[in-house]
Amino acid sequence: MLVRDFKVSDGLRYTSDFLDLLPDKCLDERCQSPTEMTEILTSLRCSNPRCPTKIAQRVIAIMSMLGVKDFGPARANSFVSKFGVKNPLAVFGYVPSDDGAIGEGVNIDISTRIYDQIQSKKSFTLWEYVRVANLPFIQTSALHLFGDFDSIEEAYAKLEAGGIGYIKNKLNIKKSTPVKQQFADIDVEPEDISIRALKIYESLVAFKSDLYWGIQFVDIIPTHKEGMVTLRAVCSDQVGTPFKTKADFYATVNNLYKDMHVEFLSSVTKSIDYLVWAGASESDARVTNKVMKVRSYNETYKERTASGKATQEEHEIPIISASMFLGILQDITKRKGG
């Protein structure tokens, strides 16, 4: 409910000192929309889905997923103010030679460096593109809802025809994924699958035009096209030199080859193709749970192979460093080419 309505309906239960602390309007000067809160006082937020503060937060989230350096909260807010950004995907359409600096007080050299980084990291599969948009309530559900499509029009046609029931079905398939992980989003965490499906649906409808508009500025990798190689990998802790962050590694890998795509998953299962870990080439890397899990999978696999029990689907999962992984991708491309 809106905070100003709350003060009328529930005001008698609280002291006026406390009520005075609750702002009626968004504290962002650029917005000043009414604030809203949950009835049990667990959260208070701006009611405007396009509040400049929220847009700036999503811009920051996009830049951090891409591993873009030199772009923190101050620059994100300045970018939003300067261009009146209502859709965070506008970062992909920014061109310094046409638009000038990326924000007030940022010089053109830094702006160009930021632009160059974005340009080198704007290839995505459709579901990754939806995930990177950082829409409310849509993070890991992007894979389940968009993973079967290369075309946003086709994906939306299915979503709109099937509605909330369709989303529920798609999410139910992945029941085992912890809710917390599914909803590592900016907003609240609905615990019920129907409410989650509803929130996801509303968000996808509300931001449909954002996704449609932004897609012109990025390259969508068609994973369902013939001849496309898809690998599944998990990264553990640090991936190894020369990559400082996982985000940097992800974006680099998926911008190297047109007909190869690596799905980076967050948790280890027996079906992944590789585990990328700095420790495969550097002795001081921490042995993580993921590494121990894959090692034990590999032990089991060896035993099962020795006793002739291993099935076709079972395989050893190589544990390799980032640079070894890049070498493997290069080999696969060469083999395909020759």
Element (H, E) at 276: strand 274-277
By DSSP bridging, strand 35-37 and strand 44-46 are: antiparallel
Identify which of residues 31 and 220 has a Cβ nearer to Zn ion in the complex: 31
Dihedrals φ, ψ of 277, to 5°?
A: -150, 130
268: Cα separation from own chain's centroid: 18
- Would you count residue 31 as binding Zn ion (CB under 5 A)? yes
Dihedrals φ, ψ of 276, to 5°?
A: -100, 125
Instruction: Return the residue of 3, 6, 48, 277 that touches Zn ion, per CB under 5 A.
Output: 48
What distance in Å separates the CA atoms of residue 327 and residue 223, rounded to the nearest whole number?
Answer: 21
Identify which of residues 36 and 248 has a Cβ nearer to Zn ion in the complex: 36
Minimal distance in Å, beta carbon 85 to Zn ion? Answer: 14
Instruction: Return the residue of 28, 187, 273, 314 that touches Zn ion, per CB under 5 A.
Output: 28
* Length of the chain measured in residues: 338
Instruction: Return the residue of 3, 46, 59, 285 that touches Zn ion, per CB under 5 A.
Output: 46
- Would you count residue 101 as binding Zn ion (CB under 5 A)? no
Minimal distance in Å, beta carbon 45 to Zn ion? Answer: 8
Minimal distance in Å, beta carbon 23 to Zn ion? Answer: 10
Identify which of residues 51 and 90 has a Cβ nearer to Zn ion in the complex: 51
- Inter-residue contact 11 to 19 (CB < 8 Å): yes
Identify which of residues 22 and 247 has a Cβ nearer to Zn ion in the complex: 22
Query: Which stretches of the chain are DSSP H helices?
Result: 3-9, 16-21, 52-66, 73-83, 96-99, 108-119, 126-132, 141-146, 152-172, 179-182, 193-206, 208-214, 246-253, 289-306, 322-337
Identify which of residues 51 and 322 has a Cβ nearer to Zn ion in the complex: 51
Directed axis angle between helix 246-253 and helix 322-337, to 10°? 10
Minimal distance in Å, beta carbon 131 to Zn ion? Answer: 24
Q: Which amino acid is at 293?
A: K
Tokens of 216: 């012109």
Minimal distance in Å, beta carbon 293 to Zn ion? Answer: 43
Minimal distance in Å, beta carbon 30 to Zn ion? Answer: 8
- Would you count residue 26 as binding Zn ion (CB under 5 A)? yes
- Binding residues for Zn ion, rule CB under 5 A, total 7
Element (H, E) at 235: strand 229-236
- Return the residues of window 265-304 that contact Zn ion according to CB under 5 A: none
Q: Which stretch binds Zn ion (CB under 5 A): 4-12, 26-34, 82-90, 208-216?
A: 26-34
Identify which of residues 56 and 285 has a Cβ nearer to Zn ion in the complex: 56
Minimal distance in Å, beta carbon 46 to Zn ion? Answer: 3
Identify which of residues 30 and 295 has a Cβ nearer to Zn ion in the complex: 30
Binding residues for Zn ion, per CB under 5 A? 26, 28, 31, 33, 46, 48, 51
